[in-house]
A and B are shown apart, each in its own frame.
Chain A
């Protein structure tokens, strides 16, 4: 029984998450307390969930891409583009508080992200460029595009309807968390209840074999890049709405790395095939909890990255079959490993 639990692939990430949460009890009072303030739930845990929302969204798209054996480096740039266009359009509205106008701007921004996703997918599935290279193009050029949209400025917007996306509350819960939850729900229904999940795993396992089995590998690969870009676009809207501005440099900076990390922590192999959406959500929450914990433990901001590096190393090694074999088999190779590392 206990052995089954230990060998579950999400055991170690989950254990680290629990450990981090427990650690927080010692360093901050009221860590687990959730109070109702102005009809909103308020508390550190809610805060962690709220901050995790963009990463979860990006992570869901990334999981699907990685499931097909690909990778999407452009998500951070897409986030910047979507926030930039939405803020530009809202700034041009005659009445920035009109719901219809904001809705139009948001939809147009997501449409642009969709186009960017189509571009990524086209390069990978039709032209046949390696995913890491294909998406590198947009990663470099996308931020330039975002700066082009905002003319290199940080665009500030004051629009109540737009503010709701990132900072609003609905039924006492943050809207951003609800959006993320909805996307996760839709994605897990699509992959769990329809054949989509199975087909994605087949494509990731072996594109050639899946093609021979009659799966539209090209179309599916194309689709996941579009989904990833739209997810990143929504995340970009949440981010820019939360800070009520579009900052082309800060928005989604390095989020592609965090998202890939979340996916890997969640037990999805970068080589494609088997994937786990719940694992990715767990990974994303773990990364955000890690960020919060370093602050509440009084670890100076400077050491946050160092702390993160150590956790990443420990997690990746604990998940590496080669490492487990060398360490737990108590044979001679354990010595050579230590000498080498």
Chain B
């Protein structure tokens, strides 16, 4: 978080629209993502060989169904991490969104009011944290930590208990299935998550805003000197993360049909892990949204394999995720280290 950036060449190379030096820098930038992709393929192959029924298409689709909320939250986290920041509040915002939505729906508010309200709350919280971070120069770590306490505290204040959601709209969305074949389906949340991923990828790759996000992560001072709207962008990424977290909360409430102030406990760690495994540098300025998607899938597939194995205990998930984090961080280190040497004069 407080580290200085290594080599400016890497940061420049990370801008997706740079056309110069494509042939050489392309491979280098793609190594982490390709590694994640091969890992994913390897894990899937391992599953298919070892477990009966693993090759059923629904196994893969279930990874999406079970992790749609994580995917959306991780998209928001990617924006923040690309600018070199971090957002610890996402898990708590998920909890706050589910609790608020469930409480209002129970009180008889129409879904058409509750839904935008919930999304607005998360976005507002994110924007305020962004403003505090930018204008008062409070560390992102500390500011979003306060946001985490605030959101979790508000959720607890609203209701300590788990509240079931019986609203017609919510239930109908939750039960909606898009079927491809007999026993092969996805939930509508998956479509929603994929749309979010698509929009975010387009924004990051082809808009000025996206380029500014990468530029701030590369070097915030240079970005400011170049006349880029640093203040607006930095506040906006936390707003985006807040929006994604509350949308993730809404999707989570579709998934569980309940609101609970302890939902999404430790979710921020999962999101950060997914982003890192997806090859995004935590120092900011380099990485792809596609990598984050792969990172989420890796996390989901680990859980699936452990479920299929049956005899493995749940804590192995943590140990495996830790080992993967280690492997990918060292890989990133090697890739950027080697490139720094290669791209010398």
Whether the Cβ atoms of B136 and A304 lie closer than 8 Å is no
B interface: dominant SS: helix
Also in contact, A322 and B137, with CB within 8 A (given A136-B325, A144-B322): yes
Whether the Cβ atoms of B282 and A307 lie closer than 8 Å is no
Chain A contacts for B318, CB-based, 8 A: 140-141, 143-144, 147
Min CB–CB distance A88 → chain B (angstroms): 15
Instruction: Give the nearest-CB partner of B152 in chain A.
Output: A305
A303 to B317, CA, bound (A): 33
Min CB–CB distance B158 → chain A (angstroms): 8
Which stretch (B30-38, B43-51, B141-149, B206-214) binds chain A? B141-149
Which stretch (A107-115, A127-135, A228-236) binds chain B? A127-135
Size range of the interface on B?
A: 35 or more
Also in contact, A316 and B319, with CB within 8 A (given A129-B329, A271-B2, A326-B135): no
Whether the Cβ atoms of B141 and A141 lie closer than 8 Å is no
A123 to B329, CA, bound (A): 10
Whether the Cβ atoms of B146 and A316 lie closer than 8 Å is yes
A309 at the interface (CB under 8 A from B): yes
Min CB–CB distance A122 → chain B (angstroms): 11
Min CB–CB distance B143 → chain A (angstroms): 7
Whether the Cβ atoms of B326 and A137 lie closer than 8 Å is yes
Whether the Cβ atoms of B153 and A305 lie closer than 8 Å is yes
B330 at the interface (CB under 8 A from A): yes
Min CB–CB distance A284 → chain B (angstroms): 16
Min CB–CB distance B179 → chain A (angstroms): 36
Also in contact, A127 and B333, with CB within 8 A (given A309-B149, A316-B146, A322-B135): yes
Also in contact, A305 and B313, with CB within 8 A (given A133-B276, A141-B319): no
Chain A contacts for B128, CB-based, 8 A: 341
A25 at the interface (CB under 8 A from B): no
B156 at the interface (CB under 8 A from A): yes
Also in contact, A308 and B153, with CB within 8 A (given A71-B1, A144-B317, A316-B143): yes
Min CB–CB distance B33 → chain A (angstroms): 18
Whether the Cβ atoms of A141 and B322 lie closer than 8 Å is yes
A192 at the interface (CB under 8 A from B): no
Chain A contacts for B143, CB-based, 8 A: 316
Contact with A along B120-136 (1 / 0, CB 8 A): 00000000100110011
B154 at the interface (CB under 8 A from A): yes
Within 8 A of A (CB), among B240-272: 261, 269, 272
Chain A contacts for B272, CB-based, 8 A: 136
Instruction: Give the nearest-CB partner of B322 in chain A.
Output: A141
Pick from B2, B154, B316: contact of A144, CB below 8 A. B316
Pick from A137, A260, A261: contact of B329, CB below 8 A. A137
A69 to B138, CA, bound (A): 16
Chain B contacts for A312, CB-based, 8 A: 142, 145-146, 149
Chain B contacts for A136, CB-based, 8 A: 269, 272-273, 276, 325
Min CB–CB distance B211 → chain A (angstroms): 24
Whether the Cβ atoms of A261 and B145 lie closer than 8 Å is yes
Whether the Cβ atoms of B149 and A308 lie closer than 8 Å is yes
Pick from A138, A248, A305: contact of B149, CB below 8 A. A305
Pick from B86, B142, B153: contact of A261, CB below 8 A. B142
A38 at the interface (CB under 8 A from B): no
Chain B contacts for A132, CB-based, 8 A: 1, 86, 141, 282
A214 at the interface (CB under 8 A from B): no
Whether the Cβ atoms of B315 and A303 lie closer than 8 Å is no
Whether the Cβ atoms of A306 and B315 lie closer than 8 Å is no
Whether the Cβ atoms of B329 and A133 lie closer than 8 Å is yes
Also in contact, A270 and B131, with CB within 8 A (given A140-B269, A140-B273, A144-B318): no
Instruction: Give the nearest-CB partner of B1 in chain A.
Output: A132
A272 at the interface (CB under 8 A from B): yes
A136 to B134, CA, bound (A): 25
Instruction: Give the nearest-CB partner of A333 in chain B.
Output: B135
Chain A contacts for B146, CB-based, 8 A: 309, 312-313, 316
Contact with A along B312-345 (1 / 0, CB 8 A): 0111111101110110011001000100000000
Whether the Cβ atoms of B154 and A306 lie closer than 8 Å is yes
Min CB–CB distance B76 → chain A (angstroms): 18
Also in contact, A317 and B322, with CB within 8 A (given A303-B157, A308-B149, A309-B150): no
B66 at the interface (CB under 8 A from A): no
A337 at the interface (CB under 8 A from B): yes
A123 to B332, CA, bound (A): 13
Instruction: Give the nearest-CB partner of A317 in chain B.
Output: B136
A148 at the interface (CB under 8 A from B): yes
Whether the Cβ atoms of A317 and B149 lie closer than 8 Å is no
Whether the Cβ atoms of A69 and B330 lie closer than 8 Å is no
Whether the Cβ atoms of B157 and A260 lie closer than 8 Å is no
Whether the Cβ atoms of B150 and A137 lie closer than 8 Å is no
A-B pairs with lowest CB-CB distance, top 8: A141-B322, A144-B318, A306-B153, A305-B153, A309-B149, A147-B315, A309-B150, A144-B319
- The residues of A with any CB-CB pair to B shorter than 8 Å are 69, 71, 123, 127-134, 136-145, 147-148, 151-152, 248, 257, 260-261, 264, 270-272, 300-310, 312-313, 316-317, 320-323, 326, 337, 340-341
Q: Other than A136-B325, A141-B326, give 15 A-B pairs with Cβ distance below 8 A.
A: A127-B333, A129-B329, A130-B3, A140-B269, A140-B318, A148-B319, A257-B145, A261-B145, A302-B157, A302-B160, A305-B149, A308-B149, A322-B137, A340-B131, A341-B131
- Can you spell out 27 A-B residue pairs with CB atoms less than 8 angstroms apart? A71-B141, A130-B3, A132-B282, A136-B272, A137-B329, A140-B318, A140-B322, A143-B318, A147-B315, A148-B313, A148-B316, A148-B319, A260-B145, A261-B142, A270-B139, A300-B157, A303-B156, A305-B150, A309-B146, A309-B150, A312-B145, A312-B146, A316-B146, A320-B136, A322-B135, A326-B135, A341-B132
- The residues of B with any CB-CB pair to A shorter than 8 Å are 1-3, 86, 88, 128, 131-132, 135-139, 141-143, 145-150, 152-154, 156-157, 160, 235, 261, 269, 272-273, 276, 282-283, 313-319, 321-323, 325-326, 329-330, 333, 337
